Amino acid sequence: MFGSRNNNIKSGLRIIIIGCGKVGTTLIEQLRNEGHDITIIDKNAALVSDLIGTYDIMGIAGNGASYSVQIEAGIEQTDLLIALTDSDELNLLCCTIAKQVAGCAAIARVRNPEYSAESGYLREKLGLAMIINPELEAANEAARLLYLPTALEVNTFSNGQAEMIKLRLPKNHFMDGKTIADVSKMIPVKFLICAVERDGEVYIPSGDFILHASDAISFSTSKKNEKELLKKIGFPTQQVKNTIIIGGGKAAFYLANQLIPMGIEVKIIEANKARCEELSCLLPKAIIINGDGSDEELLKEEGIIDAQSFVPLTGIDEENIMLTLHVKHISNAKTITKINRITFKDVINYLDLDSVIYPKYITSEAIIAYVRAKQNSKNSNIETLYHLFDFKAEAIEFVVDESCVFTNRQLMDITTKDNLLIAAINRDGDIIIPNGTDTIKTGDSIIVFTKHTGLNDINEILA
Q: Which long-range CB contacts under 8 A does 276-285 form with residues at least 24 apart?
A: 276/248, 279/248, 279/252, 279/253, 282/253, 283/253, 283/256, 283/257, 285/260
Backbone angles phi, psi at 307, to 5 degrees: -65, 145
Cα–Cα distance between 327 and 136 in angstroms, integer?
A: 25
Helix, coil or strand: residue 451:
coil
Helices 22-33 and 45-55: crossing angle, nearest 10°? 20
Give the CA angle between residues 111, 365, 258 to the nearest 5°: 45
Question: Options 3.30.70.100, 3.40.50.720, 3.40.50.11540, 3.90.1150.10; which CATH number does 242-357 get?
Answer: 3.40.50.720
What are the extents of the domains in the chain? 14-132, 242-357, 362-461
Give all strands of the β-sheet with 216-222 in edge-to-edge order: 153-157, 162-168, 216-222, 192-198, 201-203
| Residue 411 DSSP code | G
How many residues would you count in the chain?
463
pLDDT given at position 349: 72
pLDDT given at position 10: 45
Cα–Cα distance between 31 and 82 in angstroms, integer?
A: 12
8 A C-beta contact, residue 334 and residue 306: no
Say whether 242-357 and 14-132 share the same fold.
yes
The Cβ of residue 246 has, within 10 Å, a number of other Cβ atoms equal to: 28
Q: What are the tens digits of pLDDT across the range 441-457? A: 999 999 999 999 889 88
Helix, coil or strand: residue 25:
helix
| Residue 272 DSSP code | -
Cα–Cα distance between 368 and 375 in angstroms, integer?
A: 10
DSSP H/E element including 330: helix 317-330
Backbone angles phi, psi at 151, to 5 degrees: -80, 145
Give the CA angle between residues 384, 385, 390 to the nearest 5°: 155
The arrangement of secondary structure in 14-132, i.e. its CATH architecture, is 3-Layer(aba) Sandwich (3.40)
Per-residue pLDDT of the chain in tens (463 residues, 90 and over written 9):
666 555 444 468 999 999 999 899 999 999 999 899 999 999 999 999 999 999 999 999 999 999 999 999 999 999 999 999 999 999 999 999 999 999 999 999 999 998 888 989 999 999 999 999 999 999 999 999 999 999 999 999 999 999 999 999 999 999 999 999 999 999 999 999 999 999 989 999 999 999 999 999 999 999 999 999 999 999 988 899 999 999 999 999 999 999 999 999 999 999 999 999 999 999 999 999 999 999 999 999 999 999 999 999 999 999 999 999 999 999 999 999 999 876 666 677 778 889 999 988 888 999 998 998 887 644 557 889 999 998 899 999 999 999 899 999 999 999 999 999 999 999 999 999 999 999 999 999 999 999 998 898 899 999 8
pLDDT given at position 221: 97
Q: Which residues sit opposite 335 in a β-bridge?
A: 310
Gap between the terminal Cα atoms of the chain: 42
Q: Which CATH superfamily, name and number, covers 362-461?
A: Regulator of K+ conductance, C-terminal domain (3.30.70.1450)
DSSP H/E element including 231: helix 226-232
Give all strands of the β-sheet with 382-388 in edge-to-edge order: 382-388, 393-399, 445-450, 420-427, 430-432
Specify the amino acid at residue 166: K
Cα–Cα distance between 434 and 463 in angstroms, integer?
A: 19
